């Protein structure tokens, strides 16, 4: 497996050790508290629920220093720190963690505390008892007015675009079967949308309320770049879920709208020309031609997309069969 | 691959002759009737199986199928993880069926299983795909029959595969055809054309009975015309130009290229005549250049398509004479 930075990121599985029940992937990106405390608390919670646990802390070069206090723990077989060569984002860290994880169940946990850690065992139990993924939502929750509004707009947009309602995509605390995680596209900035992607592939996802951690409360202000990223993420997700096997439906629609507008303008100009008005100096003519050309380009791109999909369809199966229950 | 709970008997595991594949979506009430009708129609047939594909139904369809399967080991359930649509349900049925011949039909009892023997007989006359066309179709005229008539004519004209009724699900396939079919998007509407393009299938059609819907609701509507228009372009692309996409794009570039030449020449002509007077220097030359750019762009896209195709052509190219 090639990592995002081009290096090999597969970690050799340690032989002679029984795989743990749960792998906890801790992504160290922003606003972390004490990682030592975090590790101890989570280990306590999971182990007292009766599961064996392994920890993988994942960090970027610029957050690597934060993991230094953890280094003595690497003596243990069930503790690892992985540091990427360059920033790969939350999603990239999770992808690397997924490839290194050995547990039946993978628990993703941002290093900054979003929820009270006592509830983590509950997520694991949901996965043990039949769900493919259990994702936490912060409840009860207190946020600044601004953040609440942002969150509402974001979740509304998600539900309009994908037809699926989720309560808290911003909460990265999730437990899932490892093979489910392996089946989801972890690229771009899709980590946020893991529950949606899982549902789209037919997996059962449950939402579990966990109390928000006090440190997660309060106002958070983001730069405009972050909002742009969110919008692009959403569009990417929408395209992925709706049109990956029928690109012409998308490009064809865009193309016929553009071409249609251009055509109407041309028709108007044509009528004017018939009434002896000169049109050769009208900028409107230029606009009409541009629209028609853009429309034609869009449709042509869609056709190329269809060729690629058709060629890639050999042996590819979109559907998944439900393999449990009933028997 | 998951098997049905009613673990099929040994004799069935090996070489079933005929598989009947039926996609089901919320057909709870129809399942018992469907199963009975098929079993009755195939009484004389020695070796068959019925593969019922549940496409993420929200009603009791799965329970009904399981009940039927518990008393008849020839009935098998393939349960999809969610609702994927008819194309994927059919593909799942094809993948999980084992017969040398596969017959598909709708789960709403509008097709009549008593027509299956006729399809099989016709297949034996040397065809790879036999498709039914509905005689005396029992559907609304304006919302169903007219759009369907137009669509079938368009498909025939565009692909050269003349099938009167692409929308009739009652069809019989040889396994060899299915092995070369990969269904995606909503391609179930164009199966004959796709089979002709991908598997060079010999296709014929026979008249079949058609009944009005007894239970449940129809799952089609008028709202799909834009989607079908896009799919039609796709199927034309695939059936006519999958080997030579460059030709299509070069062909498409002729119109903008000629228009560009005409506009450019007429502007140049006027420009030469009106030397010294007020001369138009922006719009017309720009129009000519934009159209020329489109032509160039289309040719480049055609080349890109050839690149994409080169990959799939590799195995053939590697077969060098010794």
**For position B12, what pLDDT does the model report?**
45
Report in angstroms the alpha-carbon separations of A278 from A275, A284, A289, B112: 9, 12, 16, 65
- C-beta of residue A77 within 8 angstroms of C-beta of residue A151: no
The interface residues of chain A toward chain B in range 219-248, judged by CB-CB distance below 8 A, are 245-246, 248
Residue A219 CB burial class (10 angstroms; 0-12, 13-18, ≥19): exposed
Q: Average the pLDDT over A1-8 and give the result.
A: 42
pLDDT of A130 higher than 80? yes
- C-beta of residue A214 within 8 angstroms of C-beta of residue A114: no
Other beta carbons less than 10 A from residue A18's beta carbon: 7
**C-alpha span between A87 and B122 (Å, rounded):** 64
Element (H, E) at B102: strand B101-104
Q: Average the pLDDT over A49-61 and give the result.
A: 93
Flag residues of chain B having pLDDT under 50. Answer: 1-12, 316-319
Contact flag B237-A306 (C-beta cutoff 8 Å): yes
Which range has the worst mean pLDDT, A168-177, A242-251, B294-303?
Answer: A242-251
Residue B245 bridge partners (DSSP): none
Q: Compare all CA atoms of chain B with the CA of A311 and give the residue at the minimum distance.
A: B312
Q: Compare all CA atoms of chain A with the CA of B282 and give the residue at the minimum distance.
A: A281
pLDDT of A67 higher than 50? yes
| CA distance, residue B191 to nearest chain A CA (Å) | 14
Contact flag A297-B294 (C-beta cutoff 8 Å): yes
- Return the higher-pLDDT residue of A243 and B262: B262
- C-beta of residue A133 within 8 angstroms of C-beta of residue A174: yes
Tokens representing residue A19 in the block: 């795989």
- Cα B58 from chain centroid (whole Å): 25
**C-alpha span between B296 and A325 (Å, rounded):** 57
> Taking CB atoms and an 8 Å cutoff, what residues of chain A touch B290?
286, 289-290, 293
- C-beta of residue A109 within 8 angstroms of C-beta of residue A124: no
Q: Average the pLDDT over A177-201 and give the result.
A: 89
Average pLDDT over all residues of chain A: 86
**C-alpha span between A43 and B78 (Å, rounded):** 41
Contacts of B61 (CB under 8 A, 6+ apart): B24, B25, B26, B27, B28, B31, B54
> Taking CB atoms and an 8 Å cutoff, what residues of chain B touch A249?
227, 230-231
- Based on C-alpha coordinates, what's the Rg of chain A? 25
- Per DSSP, chain B holds a count of helices (H) and strands (E) of 11, 7
Tallying the residues shown for chain B, one arrives at: 322
- pLDDT per position as a tens digit, B238-256: 888 878 889 999 999 999 9
- The complex's ipTM works out to 0.78
**For position B312, what pLDDT does the model report?**
67
- Nearest Cβ partner of A280 from B283, B297, B305? B283
pLDDT of A88 higher than 80? yes
């Amino acid at each position: 497996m090639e990592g995002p930075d081009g290096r090999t990121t597969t970690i050799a599985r340690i032989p002679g050790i029984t795989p743990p029940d749960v792998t906890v992937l801790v992504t160290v990106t922003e606003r972390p508290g004490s990682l030592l405390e975090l590790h101890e608390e989570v280990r306590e919670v999971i182990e007292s629920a009766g599961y064996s646990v392994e920890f993988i802390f994942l960090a970027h070069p610029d957050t690597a220093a934060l993991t230094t206090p953890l280094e003595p723990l690497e003596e243990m077989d069930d503790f690892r720190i992985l540091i990427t060569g360059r920033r790969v984002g939350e999603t990239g860290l999770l992808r690397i963690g997924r490839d290194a994880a050995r547990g039946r169940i993978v628990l993703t946990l941002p290093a900054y505390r979003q929820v009270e850690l006592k509830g983590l065992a509950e997520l694991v139990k949901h996965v043990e008892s039949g769900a493919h993924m259990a994702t936490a939502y912060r409840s009860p929750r207190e946020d600044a007015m601004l953040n609440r509004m942002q969150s509402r707009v974001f979740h509304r947009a998600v539900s309009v675009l994908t037809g699926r309602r989720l309560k808290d995509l911003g909460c990265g605390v999730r437990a899932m079967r490892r093979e489910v995680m392996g089946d989801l596209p972890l690229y771009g900035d899709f980590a946020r949308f893991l529950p949606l992607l899982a549902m789209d592939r037919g997996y059962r996802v449950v939402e579990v309320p966990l109390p928000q951690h006090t440190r997660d409360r309060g106002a958070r202000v983001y730069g405009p770049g972050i909002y742009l990223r969110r919008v692009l993420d959403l569009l990417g997700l929408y395209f992925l879920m709706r049109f990956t096997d029928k690109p012409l439906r998308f490009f064809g629609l865009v193309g016929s709208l553009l071409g249609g507008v251009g055509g109407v303008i041309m028709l108007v100009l044509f009528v004017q020309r018939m009434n002896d008005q000169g049109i050769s100096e009208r900028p409107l003519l230029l606009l009409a031609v541009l629209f028609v050309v853009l429309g034609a380009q869009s449709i042509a791109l869609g056709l190329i997309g269809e060729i690629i999909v058709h060629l890639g369809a050999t042996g590819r199966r979109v559907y998944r069969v439900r393999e449990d229950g009933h028997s | 691959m998951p098997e049905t709970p009613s673990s099929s008997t040994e004799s069935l595991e090996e070489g079933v002759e005929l598989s009947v594949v039926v996609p089901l979506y919320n057909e709870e009430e129809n399942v018992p009737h469907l199963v009975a009708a098929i079993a009755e129609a195939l009484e004389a047939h020695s070796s068959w199986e019925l593969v019922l594909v549940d496409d993420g139904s929200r009603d009791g369809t799965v329970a009904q199928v399981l009940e039927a399967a518990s008393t008849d080991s020839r009935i098998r359930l393939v349960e999809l993880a969610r609702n994927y649509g008819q194309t994927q349900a059919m593909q799942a049925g094809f993948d999980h069926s084992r017969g040398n011949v596969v017959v598909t039909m709708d789960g709403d009892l509008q097709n009549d299983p008593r027509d299956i023997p006729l399809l099989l007989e016709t297949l034996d006359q040397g065809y790879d795909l036999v498709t039914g066309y509905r005689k005396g179709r029992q559907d609304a005229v304006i919302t169903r029959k007219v759009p369907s008539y137009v669509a079938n004519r368009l498909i025939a004209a565009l692909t050269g595969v003349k099938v009167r009724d692409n929308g009739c699900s009652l069809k019989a396939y040889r396994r060899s055809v299915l092995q070369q079919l990969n269904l995606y998007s909503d391609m179930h509407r164009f199966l004959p054309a796709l089979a002709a393009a991908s598997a060079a299938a010999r296709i014929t059609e026979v008249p079949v009975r058609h009944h009005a819907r007894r239970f449940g609701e129809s799952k089609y509507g008028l709202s799909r015309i834009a989607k079908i228009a896009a799919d039609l372009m796709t199927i034309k692309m695939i059936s006519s130009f999958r080997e030579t996409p460059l030709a299509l794009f070069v062909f498409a570039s002729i119109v903008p290229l000629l228009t560009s030449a005409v506009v450019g020449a007429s502007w140049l002509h006027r420009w030469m005549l009106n030397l010294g007077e007020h001369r138009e220097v922006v719009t017309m030359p720009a129009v000519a250049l934009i159209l020329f750019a489109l032509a160039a762009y289309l040719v480049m896209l055609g080349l890109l398509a050839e690149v994409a195709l080169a990959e799939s052509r590799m195995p053939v190219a590697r077969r060098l004479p010794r």
